[in-house]
Amino acid sequence: MNKIDKVRYSYLPQQFEDIDDLLQEIKEFVKTGDFTLGTPLVEFEKKFASMMGSKYAIGVNSGTDGIKLGLKALGVGYGDEVITAANTFIATVGAINEIGAIPVFVDCDDTFCMNVDLVEKAITKKTKAIVPVHFTGYMTDMEKLIPLGKKYNLPIVEDACQGILASQNDKNSGTWGICGAFSLHPLKNLNVWSDGGVIITDDEEFCKKLKLLRNHGMKNRDEISLLGYNSRLDTLQAVVGNWLIPQTHDIANKRIENANYYDENLGTLKQITIPPRPEGMKLVYHLYIVFAERRDELLKYCLDKGIEAKIHYPIPLYLQEGLKFLGYKKGDFPVTERHTKDIITFPVDQHLSKEEMDYVIQIVNEFYDK
């Protein structure tokens, strides 16, 4: 057997190695010309809703648009405040900004999700919605957040883009709030071949509104009910989605298995701290992150040894040039800020071999032994 001397981050070439049957399906599909809101999309939406345990699923352009359309359907707009997590990916904030609303951050805790205890303090008269982010495949504590939303009459749009099949007490991400948004981006756990997203909801009226919003507000060919967007999930990508969706549980389970293996083996090092793994939370490890002493040196050592470790993220959003207008400053979100200095992400995907994980573990050990 070849000795391992590198561990790649992207598994896409491996994932799509054996696709003859899918290409055949695409060939048949192209012949139908059913490209826009076509039959395979309707089929994908049914399957997705059923997998999540929700009544409806609506295919959209991207996860970003999923969040945006969710907020738009609630009537959130210009000058309204939307509370979200300070450590999220830019897309969450972009979605809030696109409808003219103002993102208001709350700090996360060591589960990489918003610290729900800090939400109440962030609520003002202008607050119109809360967007918890199930970051890295952890779950925000929804058992705590839902009653808070009810108390202040604030609807919740879940950013579940990284959390497909994550759950709290067996209730899936995306099914807690009025709606949940998922991303089908190539780097996400359920990934098609371009941008794509899905919104799920149990509310029939809300579903109808989302379907209008994603398709220019067109009730039919001749009548416009409201002003909307061009944000349909490509039916071609729904063909890919239909091919992939039966693998979603296996993908999650393999990532969980890999993460457990890392936890057991990296957790014995005193310089590495494994984040909390709370009772009742099913984490799906879109990212596998641990806290590391001398993080920058460890990252460099791993990269030198061929391991594509990463940092999610080295600069928090609220300190980014492009978000200066929000008026935040260094020190505003201490946990998020500490994370930028002590987190490290290792590959954890379903195509990773035990030998590759052993190599990661060996290199991390080697680094701290020196």
Ligand X SMILES: *Cc1c(COP(=O)(O)O)cnc(C)c1O
Among 335, 343, 334, residue whose Cα is nearest residue 293: 343
Residues 177-196 that bind ligand X (CB under 6 A): 183, 185, 195
Contact region with ligand X (CB under 6 A), list: 18-26, 58-66, 219-227, 299-307:
58-66
Q: What is the 3-state secondary structure (H, E, C) of 223-250?
A: CECCCCCECECCHHHHHHHHHHHHHHHH
For residues 161 and 348, which CB has a smaller minimum distance to ligand X in the complex?
161
For residues 135 and 193, which CB has a smaller minimum distance to ligand X in the complex?
135
Q: Under the criterion CB under 6 A, does residue 89 sit at the interface with ligand X?
A: yes
Burial of 69 (0-12, 13-18, 19+ CB in 10 A): buried
Phi, psi of 146 (to 5 degrees): -60, -50
Q: Under the criterion CB under 6 A, does residue 70 sit at the interface with ligand X?
A: no
Contact (CB, 8 A) for 124 and 101: no
Contact region with ligand X (CB under 6 A), list: 88-96, 206-214, 295-303, 337-345:
88-96
For residues 162 and 167, which CB has a smaller minimum distance to ligand X in the complex?
162
Among 195, 130, 128, 200, residue whose Cα is nearest residue 163: 200
For residues 89 and 243, which CB has a smaller minimum distance to ligand X in the complex?
89
Spatial separation of the C-alpha atoms in residues 52 and 156, rounded to whole Å: 17
Selected binder of ligand X within 54, 64, 231, 350 (CB under 6 A): 64
Beta carbon of residue 45, minimum distance to ligand X (angstroms, whole number)? 16
For residues 188 and 282, which CB has a smaller minimum distance to ligand X in the complex?
188
Beta carbon of residue 71, minimum distance to ligand X (angstroms, whole number)? 13
For residues 104 and 361, which CB has a smaller minimum distance to ligand X in the complex?
104
Tokens of 303: 């990269």
Contact region with ligand X (CB under 6 A), list: 18-26, 74-82, 85-93, 293-301:
85-93
Selected binder of ligand X within 54, 84, 92, 350 (CB under 6 A): 92
Tokens of 302: 């791993």
Binding to ligand X by CB under 6 A, coded x per residue (else -) over 157-176, reads: --x-xx--------------
User: DSSP code of 112?
Assistant: S
Spatial separation of the C-alpha atoms in residues 69 and 226, rounded to whole Å: 13
Selected binder of ligand X within 54, 84, 88, 140 (CB under 6 A): 88
| C-alpha radius of gyration, the chain, whole number | 21
Among 112, 49, 106, residue whose Cα is nearest residue 241: 49
Among 53, 37, 328, 75, residue whose Cα is nearest residue 164: 53
Beta carbon of residue 186, minimum distance to ligand X (angstroms, whole number)? 9
For residues 194 and 365, which CB has a smaller minimum distance to ligand X in the complex?
194
Contact (CB, 8 A) for 81 and 124: yes
Residues 117-136 that bind ligand X (CB under 6 A): 133, 135
Residues 1-20 that bind ligand X (CB under 6 A): none
- Total number of residues that touch ligand X (CB under 6 A): 16
Q: Under the criterion CB under 6 A, does residue 91 sit at the interface with ligand X?
A: yes
Q: Report helix angle 248-266 to 354-369, nearest 10.
A: 30
Beta carbon of residue 184, minimum distance to ligand X (angstroms, whole number)? 7
CB count within 10 Å of CB 160 equals 33
Spatial separation of the C-alpha atoms in residues 76 and 128, rounded to whole Å: 6
Cβ-closest position to ligand X = 63
Q: Which residues here bind ligand X, judged by CB under 6 A?
A: 62-64, 88-89, 91-92, 133, 135, 159, 161-162, 183, 185, 195, 197
